[in-house]
């Protein structure tokens, strides 16, 4: 029930300016906290625009990762993972937590929440590079992620509303073969994932926008379906919907992929200014873990067989409390 959900109450926002405000706030907060690291250099930290570009690039990676995932994942997992990713970076900056790590964690949590059953071993098989390290990172960030999501894990995706509209169109309108809309609908929804539409509009509006967009691609007109069947009893609400659909379509239309070279430069910058305490490759992180580890149990600090996954839960809880 979306109308009474936490998604509507807490995670649907009024406009893009508001989202932008959140992101800038996170950015300023981080810079304030780590001022001394910059040693006076102006361009040491990422700007909010740079963060935005970086995250857009990582959203592309997220879509690629989900598309290539073995076994093939259902659409709703992808949608949920995107939601998590966007929500996480409303309350955090990529300088604190590298999007590469959060990306994998989002997909992993989404798999669980949407009941798409993969084990962590199956999961890391889809990741290139050191799989042990990936396991450590995903598991240690899992609790951090759901903590930052405020434990609101249920996501209302536009996929079921779309099914509802198609059933309704098949039943009540005289459109010929509505099934041919599907490819267009799917590609439109995939595009909305790269925008902030899911943080601004309801899943049913997203679904209707996708259906209307697909209809216009197929040279069909569903306007009479909307006005005469859906809104027949509430004509006065129609402008609001038309406005929402228009905004969604503009958002999708205006989306452009970030420039690869710029993103590379940003990533280089990020490697320097990121929070080293959360970088699994940094000495600081290892040192912190070791300290945690020895504090919790009385095991000698120079234990050679030290493994990060063993203390994953402790580190995550610590991150949350920060």
Partner 1 sequence: MDEQACPRCKTTKYRNPSLKLMVNVCGHTLCEACVDLLFLKGSGSCPECNVPLRRNNFRVQLFEDPMVEKEVDIRRRILRDYNKREEDFGSLEEYNDYLEEIESIVYNLCNNIEIIETNKRIEAYKRDNREVIQRNKTRVGRDEYELEEMLELERVQEEARKKELEELELEHKKKKARDKQALIEELMHSGKDAAQIVSEFAEKAEKQREEEKQLPPLKSINEFSTGIKFGQTTDTTFLPVPKSEEGPLFIYEPLELITEGPMPPPPSDIEGMGYISHIRAETPQENAGGFTSTLACQRALQEALQCLYYTSTAGMAAGT
Strands annotated E in 52-154: none
Both tokens of residue 272? 């320097």
For residue 45, give the nearest of 61, 56, 29, 62 by alpha carbon.
29
C-alpha R_g of the chain: 22
State in angstroms the smallest separation of the CB of 165 from partner 1. Answer: 5
In this structure, what DSSP letter does residue 258 have? P
Strand runs labelled E in 63-111: none
- Closest CB to partner 1 among residues 200, 263: 200
CB of 194 to partner 1, least distance (A): 20
Task: Round to whole Å and give the CA distance between 34 and 285.
Answer: 16
Q: Of 40 and 239, which CB lies nearer to partner 1 in the complex structure? A: 239
- In the complex with partner 1, the residue whose CB is nearer, 111 or 208, is 208
Least distance to partner 1 from the beta carbon of 145, Å? 12
Residue 81 Ramachandran class (φ > 0 left, ψ -120 to 50 alpha, else beta): alpha
Q: Which is nearer to partner 1, 168 or 186 (CB)?
A: 168
Cβ proximity to partner 1, 119 vs 171, nearer residue? 171
C-beta closer to partner 1: residue 234 or 265: 234
- CA 139 → CA 43, 134, 153, 235, distances in Å? 33, 8, 17, 50
Q: List residues near partner 1 by CB under 8 A.
A: 1-4, 8-15, 18, 22, 87, 90-91, 148-150, 152, 156, 160-168, 170-172, 200-205, 207-208, 230-234, 237, 240-241, 243-244
* CA dihedral over 136, 137, 138, 143, signed as positive or negative: positive
């Amino acid at each position: 029930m979306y109308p009474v959900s936490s998604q509507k109450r807490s995670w649907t926002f009024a406009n893009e300016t508001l989202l932008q405000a959140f992101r800038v706030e996170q950015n300023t907060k981080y810079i304030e906290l780590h001022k001394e690291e910059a040693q006076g250099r102006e361009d040491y930290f990422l700007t909010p625009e740079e963060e935005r570009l970086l995250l857009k690039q990582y959203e592309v990676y997220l879509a690629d990762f989900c598309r290539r995932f073995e076994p093939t994942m259902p659409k709703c997992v992808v949608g949920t993972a995107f939601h998590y990713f966007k929500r996480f970076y409303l309350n955090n900056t990529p300088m604190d937590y590298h999007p590469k790590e959060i990306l994998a964690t989002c997909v992993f949590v989404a798999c669980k929440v949407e009941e798409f059953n993969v084990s962590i071993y199956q999961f890391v098989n889809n990741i290139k590079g050191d799989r042990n390290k990936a396991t450590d990172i995903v598991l240690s960030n899992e609790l951090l992620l759901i903590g930052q999501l405020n434990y609101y894990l249920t996501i209302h995706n536009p996929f079921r509303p779309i099914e509802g509209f198609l059933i309704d169109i098949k039943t009540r309108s005289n459109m010929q073969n509505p099934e041919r809309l599907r490819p267009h609908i799917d590609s439109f929804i995939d595009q909305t994932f790269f925008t902030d539409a899911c943080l601004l509009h309801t899943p049913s509006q997203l679904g209707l926008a996708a259906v209307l967009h697909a209809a216009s691609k197929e040279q069909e007109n569903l306007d009479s379906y909307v006005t005469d069947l859906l809104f027949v009893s509430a004509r006065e609400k129609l402008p609001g919907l038309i406005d929402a659909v228009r905004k969604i379509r503009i958002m999708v239309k205006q989306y452009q992929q970030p420039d690869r070279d710029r993103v590379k430069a940003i990533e280089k910058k990020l490697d320097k200014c990121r929070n080293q305490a959360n970088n699994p490759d940094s000495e600081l992180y290892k040192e912190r873990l070791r300290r945690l580890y020895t504090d919790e149990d009385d095991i000698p600090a120079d234990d050679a067989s030290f493994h990060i996954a063993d203390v994953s839960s402790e580190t995550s809880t610590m991150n949350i409390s920060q």
